[in-house]
Amino acid sequence: MGKNLNVIILVSMITLSIMLAGCVDNGQDISPMFKSIPEVQQFLQDHPNAKITVTYWSEEEVLEISDDISIQCDKNINPRALYKATISEGNLKVVSWIDAETQIIICTITQESSDPTPPIPTATPTPPIPTATPTPPIPTATPTPPIPTATPTPPIPILETTEMSTGLYGFGQGGGVWYGAYEYFSFTEVDEDYIMQVEVQSNEHELRIELWEGLIGQNDHYWWTTHFQEATSTGTGNDPQIEPNPQLCWTIKPGDYTLFFAGFNHDGEIIPYTINYKIEYLTYDVVICDVLYDPPGPEPDNEFIKLCNQGSSTVDIGDWRLTDGEGTYIIPSGTILTADSSWSVFGSTYNPTSYTQGLYLANSHDEVILYNKDGKKVDEYHW
């Protein structure tokens, strides 16, 4: 497990001060979680003598200032017990509001202020004048981005039919044969902002979808020794990982690729059957923008998965699913991502029993996949 020695030395120099605003402390130390937030780690590197303060606010106290917190976080905050974690030096500080029960980060704000009285900016309701942001509807000239809607260049998806017995085949290391239909793709920088989503109707047969770097020749029966596997669908079978009707979702990178619909037979026999498949080119506002899979400190508690809303509209991500193929975490109902905001979940939440259930993120050769509430694959993150 790699550790950033410089960060550890810097963290050891920090003066940690725990202050309680309410009269009850639930005894949890959230400073390690706070220090693992990317904005805080950057602040520590820039300001090694920074001071961290953690304040506990009861539900009653939060109720009194919920409007102020909502303005700071740019979203509606329902009254509940919260921690306010602050790292500061001089007039610079980073503030996070964290749910005291679930330890989910509500929001993180970078501020420049030498005046702790800025609760007065709760008069930020006056800045509704900047709500003259309706003037930005001029940038609603964002309809200009429909230029990337040049994605119609990727053909409108239709259901294709292909024969599995006339494509690639190769013999597995443990015996048996992999075989199936294949298709070539070439992508350029223009395609980089799009997501390639492949769905298969396998007519009750089990298979998986594989994407390989490079163009595999039909007579190359050992291509896995010379080509890199860029992505694969996640199967549910025991040996090997195949399933009926698989899906693959991949963020496009420039280059040449071979898409392989991989069936498997233990007896080494290539069985003729047909499948139907559909390929779509999509854009999603919500993406997996960061995964801390090898954190400083204890695992999995200090791990986190971060989602970002890159769009201009609010997205309800409640009941969406995160999975690594071994476990699943369902995002709580009512979780909202406003435009240009992020949401993070820590290992202490998505794997509360330390490797016995939930997601288990390996330090190499693993992935996290995001599905929406309709079961559509939205994004995936590989390392």
The CATH code of the domain that includes 170 is 2.60.120.680
pLDDT computed for residue 357 by the predictor: 62
More confident residue, 134 or 266: 266
Does residue 276 share a domain with residue 165? Answer: yes
Do 227 and 325 belong together in one domain?
no
Instruction: Specify the 3-state DSSP secondary structure of 107.
Output: strand
Q: What is the pLDDT of residue 353?
A: 61
For range 28-46, the mean pLDDT: 84
Provide the residue range defining the domain that includes 325. Answer: 286-382
Q: Would residue 330 count as lying in a domain? A: yes
Mean pLDDT of the chain: 77
Structure tokens at 329: 């975490």
Tell me what pLDDT residue 355 has.
53
In a domain, 113, yes or no: yes
- 26 and 48 housed in the same domain: yes
Q: Are residues 275 and 292 in the same domain?
A: no
Strands (E), 5-48: 15-20
36 CB-near residues (< 8 Å, 6+ apart) = 292, 295, 296, 297, 302, 304, 346
What's the residue count for the chain?
383
The domain total for the chain is: 3
Pair 157, 277 in one domain = yes
Q: Are residues 332 and 275 in the same domain?
A: no
Q: Which of 316, 333, 304 has its CA nearest to residue 378?
A: 316
pLDDT tens by residue, 38-63: 888 888 888 888 888 888 889 889 88
Domain membership flag for residue 374:
yes
Domain boundary among 282, 309, 325: 282
| 273 shares its domain with 174 | yes
Each residue's pLDDT tens digit, 162-178: 888 778 988 876 778 88
Neighbours of 317 (CB within 10 A): 20
> Residue 255 has what pLDDT?
92
Q: Is the pTM here over 0.85, yes or no?
A: no
34: pLDDT strictly greater than 90: no
Farthest-apart Cα atoms in the chain, separation: 75
Q: Is residue 142 part of a domain?
A: no
**Residue 299 domain flag:** yes
119 versus 24: which is more confidently predicted?
119
Judge if 169 and 106 occupy the same domain: no
User: 143 in a domain, yes or no?
Assistant: no
- Write out pLDDT tens, residues 179-191: 999 989 999 887 8
Classify residue 23 as exposed, middle or buried by CB count within 10 Å of its CB (0-12, 13-18, 19+): exposed
Beta bridge partners of 107: 97
Q: Are 205 and 263 in contact (CB under 8 A)?
A: yes
Say what percent of the chain tops pLDDT 70: 77
pLDDT tier for residue 125 given thresholds of 50, 70 and 90: very low
What are the percentages of helix, strand and coil residues in the chain, rounded to 5? 15, 35, 50
Question: What pLDDT score was predicted for residue 9?
Answer: 36
202 and 315, same domain (yes or no):
no
Q: Are residues 124 and 42 in the same domain?
A: yes
Phi, psi for 5 (deg, rounded to 5): -60, -40
156 with 278, same domain: the answer is yes
Place of tokens 């693993």: 366
Considering 132, 165, 191, which residue would you say is the last residue of a domain? Answer: 132
Kindly report the number of other CB atoms within 10 A of residue 111's CB atom.
Answer: 14
Specify the pLDDT at position 194.
77
Are 278 and 290 contained in the same domain? no
Residue 365, domain member (yes or no) = yes
Domain boundary, last residue among 103, 132, 161 = 132
Q: Is residue 144 part of a domain?
A: no
CATH classification at residue 297: 2.60.40.1260
